[in-house]
Structure 1
Amino acid sequence: MNYRLSVLALLSTMAGCATPTVQQPPAQIGVASFNMAWAGTEADFTTHLDMCTAVGWCDTRPRRNKGETTPSPEAIAAASRCEAAIDQFAGGARQAMHIAPCNAYKGRNPAESVTLANYQKKLAGLRATIASLIEKDGVQVIAFQEVKSGQVIRDVLGKHADTFDVCHAPHTAFQTVAFAWNRAVTQMPGQCSPRKELAVAEDPANAANFRTVRPGLALELTINGQPVTFMNVHLKASCANLKPNGPYQPRMLDDADAACRVLNRQVPALEDWIEAVGVKSPRFVLLGDFNRRIDEEAAENVPPSQVRTDGSDPAGPNKKDALGYVATKYLWQEISDGKPSLYQVPLSGVDDGCKGFTGLDHIVISEALKAANASVGSRKVAVASEPGQVNESSDHCPRIMQLHL
């Protein structure tokens, strides 16, 4: 035996064993947005059940009879009595905002009783849906809407809770936004930043009004040595359609409708946030429940001079009046004004069994990500549920994509 060659071979083997294995960053990651429809813990639901039983399952929204354009004085009075009873149960109006309303979990069959056992089935459906997203679809970053806390996210992650980190945006009401991400996808710990600016007041003209809409939430991960920022939104509801093909009346953002007035005041906060993130982290994703058909708006090809009522360039400063209203008529044309450029990820498929709201949940990517995702698409996947389930798992289907990085 050649002793010298044997020693060299041994040293080479030892050196190879001593070399640490470098984990390669993922070439792509699965991303999802999922509105979980008033998802809270079992303890949150028990409080809701106790309250609604105590107040007789009343409704704080005045009901309109068929053919009525406005609620009757009797309906308004009944709603007011309901609100007072709920506030008394909760210990005040601010405390009551942290409890889900009595119509939150009635699902598609309101004649059925709302029980803890039925709510547990809803949570089981959410848990099965998320497990499928992770195991079948390879989803590693999930933006959640309509959740109460980080704890309910950990509950529905189930067996995957040990490998995912979680954060949520603190809020003054039940519904907020949250993230869960597989900690293996990032080379640095994920950084979450709530965006309180999006939580604008429902009625800015009333100094005594303390009700605000939902905040935003940013998650910054480090992938391939560079930051990637995910921006989670759940914007004001009921100002959804530009065209007469949805559940609400077609309206622009300068409409006098109360919901559109709130959404209008969220626009400058959202635009400022996008521009700030774009400077720091050119690779970013804006996703969530926009409560607006931005795909319809994009299809209109509105010239810049018609985006705002004053004819000013949407790429320029968005002047607010004393109450925070701006001159914009369109959400999409205002936020995707070229500074920076944004791209809607098209919906390329809807799985069988996917029901619920359409056109409200979107995924938008920055110009830097579009360059690496030229032919990217997204799809909506069905929510898991049991036969005869009373409280539906969610009235939204998760929207998912594979993001190349």
Structure 2
Amino acid sequence: MPLSRFIFLLAFLSLGLPISAQARETAPVGIATFNMAWAGTIDDFIRHVEVCSVPEVNWCNSRIRTPRGTQRAAPEEEIRTRRCREATMVAAGGFEAMMMTAPCNAYGKRKHPARAETVENYNAKLSGLRATVENLIQNENIKIIAFQEVKSREVIEQVLGDFAGQFDVCVAPHDAFQTLAFAWDKSISSVPSNASSCVPNPHLAIGEQFQGEPVGHRVRPGLALRLVINGAPVSFLNIHLKSGCANLKTGRGFAGHKLTDPDPACEILNRQVPIIEDWVEKVATETPRFVLFGDFNRRIDEEERAPVAISEVRTDGSDPAGSNTKDEWGGVKSSYLWQEIADGFPVMHQVPLTSTERGCTGLKGLDHIVISNAIWQSQSRELSSRRIAVVKTYRQSIVTSDHCPNITVLEL
């Protein structure tokens, strides 16, 4: 223990304060968030190929394509998408089965998907994921990983590779292929793993009703992990929010959007805002030390830099720290994600991204790490995060991931 800290502790003891009020020792803990791009087992992949190779499906794209700069797809595109989804639903054996199968465009856009999407090529993806995760653990000393776009516990254990026995795993139940998971080193928590709390937040899984479908597709839930580290609880909140409304500013061909714009993706993300805000506020009252990280699908760093007055955060001019009135669909007046959730109650800080490894060419600006003020104040050095390149082979047919892990080290 440094002499200065020892003297500091003696001063507290001389005042007769209880141990809980004294300065607490901290230790560095590496954390990472990693979107693994439709990661399932080999059996999951084989099922995907079985469905997509049916002649009536023929690897069609079930996602509706809306031209950039427009709010609605052309009528013929809506017809094409509906026919694709209907054929895929029949081939999969119903809506629920279709939702648990990776869509036909999940692993890349190709002229000849049947040639590229082989078990051998998918094994290359899994090998890349395993090598990437093993590198995080062995060389970057990562102890806690928040995963997005995973199917099951089984695939998490596979990508942990040689470290599977060293980590505990929990996965959020969901009625679609993509869900969230945590893996954490058993040595970092002072309580047994079965006493650790890992609880999903199903409310974030907002329903998206597609035209003509009997059941609405739901976006991803949230997942909270509570550990006791160095004698005090820490909560980790893993999120993967609605995609398609990422940019505040227009750039690189992508239109800029506020969350109150009349855009289908923004409308869904807007409905997630009060849910995540309530979730964070509740967790903050229970564990002042918390980390919110994952795939935000929103450039919150861009929002943070924007000169937004408090009166501009909501379209009605109300204070974002006040109550957030919902409409009949669960939408709110919030135009900005970061300014709404970081309204000072609680105080939160983005861990800035300061470097990106060479070869990290995945999606940028979507994966973030946010920490509570209690954690921010306990750091002895300036915080930063890094993007780590995924492991891949030359001309790999199915990419390891279109995201790179984002990592940081926190004193907890």
Is TM > 0.5 for Structure 1 vs Structure 2? yes
**TM superposition shift of 1:109:** 8.2
Equivalent residue letter for 1:58 = C
**TM superposition shift of 1:85:** 1.3
The 3-state SS of whatever aligns with 1:95 is helix
The answer to whether 1:225 aligns with 2:225 is no
**TM superposition shift of 1:74:** 3.7
- 1:60 corresponds to: 62
Matches within 5 A, 1:139-288: 139-188=142-191, 189=193, 190-203=196-209, 209-246=215-252, 248-288=254-294
Please say which of residues 200-209 and 253-262 is displaced more in the overlay: 200-209
Give the 3 Å change call, closer, same or farther, for CA 132–239 of structure 1 in structure 2. Answer: same
Equivalent residue letter for 1:169 = A
- 2:80 corresponds to: 78
**TM superposition shift of 1:159:** 0.9
Equivalent residue letter for 1:177 = L
The 3-state SS of whatever aligns with 1:286 is strand
Give the 3 Å change call, closer, same or farther, for CA 333–35 of structure 1 in structure 2. Answer: same
**TM superposition shift of 1:76:** 3.0
- 2:93 corresponds to: 91
Measured in 2, the distance between the counterparts of 1:251 and 1:145 equals 24
The answer to whether 1:380 aligns with 2:379 is no
**TM superposition shift of 1:56:** 1.2
**TM superposition shift of 1:106:** 2.4
**TM superposition shift of 1:248:** 2.7
Measured in 1, the distance between the counterparts of 2:120 and 2:399 equals 13
**TM superposition shift of 1:203:** 4.1
**TM superposition shift of 1:384:** 0.1
Equivalent residue letter for 2:37 = A
Measured in 2, the distance between the counterparts of 1:169 and 1:110 equals 34
Measured in 2, the distance between the counterparts of 1:197 and 1:69 equals 27
1:400 to 385, 395, 407: 407
Give the 3 Å change call, closer, same or farther, for CA 108–395 of structure 1 in structure 2. Answer: farther
Kindly provide the CA deviation profile for residues 193-251 of structure 1, in whole angstroms up to 9, marking residues without a partner as x.
Answer: 00011111124999954211100000111011110110000000010001112553100
Equivalent residue letter for 1:186 = S
**TM superposition shift of 1:63:** 5.0
Equivalent residue letter for 2:322 = G
Equivalent residue letter for 1:76 = E
- 1:113 corresponds to: 116
**TM superposition shift of 1:93:** 1.1
The answer to whether 1:291 aligns with 2:294 is no
**TM superposition shift of 1:191:** 1.6
Kindly provide the CA deviation profile for residues 350-378 of structure 1, in whole angstroms up to 9, marking residues without a partner as x.
Answer: 11111111110000000000002251100
Measured in 2, the distance between the counterparts of 1:344 and 1:108 equals 37
Give the 3 Å change call, closer, same or farther, for CA 67–331 of structure 1 in structure 2. Answer: closer
The 3-state SS of whatever aligns with 1:222 is strand
Kindly provide the CA deviation profile for residues 291-348 of structure 1, in whole angstroms up to 9, marking residues without a partner as x.
Answer: 0000111111312111101111100111111111100000000000000000000001
**TM superposition shift of 1:25:** 8.6
* Contact 2:71 2:263 survives alignment (8 Å): no
Equivalent residue letter for 1:339 = F
Q: What is the aligned length? A: 382
Give the 3 Å change call, closer, same or farther, for CA 119–334 of structure 1 in structure 2. Answer: same
* Contact 1:239 1:260 survives alignment (8 Å): yes
- 2:46 corresponds to: 46
The answer to whether 1:350 aligns with 2:356 is yes
Larger radius of gyration: 1
Give the 3 Å change call, closer, same or farther, for CA 246–215 of structure 1 in structure 2. Answer: farther
1:391 to 393, 398, 403: 398
Could you tell me the TM-score, scaled by structure 2's length? Answer: 0.88
Measured in 2, the distance between the counterparts of 1:293 and 1:65 equals 21
Measured in 2, the distance between the counterparts of 1:117 and 1:195 equals 36
Kindly provide the CA deviation profile for residues 267-292 of structure 1, in whole angstroms up to 9, marking residues without a partner as x.
Answer: 00000000001000000000000000
Gapped runs of 5+ residues in structure 1?
1-23
RMSD of Structure 2 on Structure 1 (CA):
2.3
Measured in 2, the distance between the counterparts of 1:290 and 1:273 equals 15
- 1:30 corresponds to: 30
The 3-state SS of whatever aligns with 1:387 is coil
Measured in 2, the distance between the counterparts of 1:361 and 1:291 equals 7
- 2:323 corresponds to: 317
Gapped runs of 5+ residues in structure 2?
1-23
Give the 3 Å change call, closer, same or farther, for CA 246–296 of structure 1 in structure 2. Answer: farther
Give the 3 Å change call, closer, same or farther, for CA 141–150 of structure 1 in structure 2. Answer: same
Give the 3 Å change call, closer, same or farther, for CA 26–44 of structure 1 in structure 2. Answer: farther
Measured in 2, the distance between the counterparts of 1:70 and 1:176 equals 28
Q: Percent identity?
A: 50
The 3-state SS of whatever aligns with 1:48 is helix
- 1:18 corresponds to: none
Please say which of residues 183-192 and 103-112 is displaced more in the overlay: 103-112
The answer to whether 1:302 aligns with 2:308 is yes
Give the 3 Å change call, closer, same or farther, for CA 63–347 of structure 1 in structure 2. Answer: closer
Equivalent residue letter for 2:301 = D
The 3-state SS of whatever aligns with 1:358 is coil
The 3-state SS of whatever aligns with 1:161 is helix
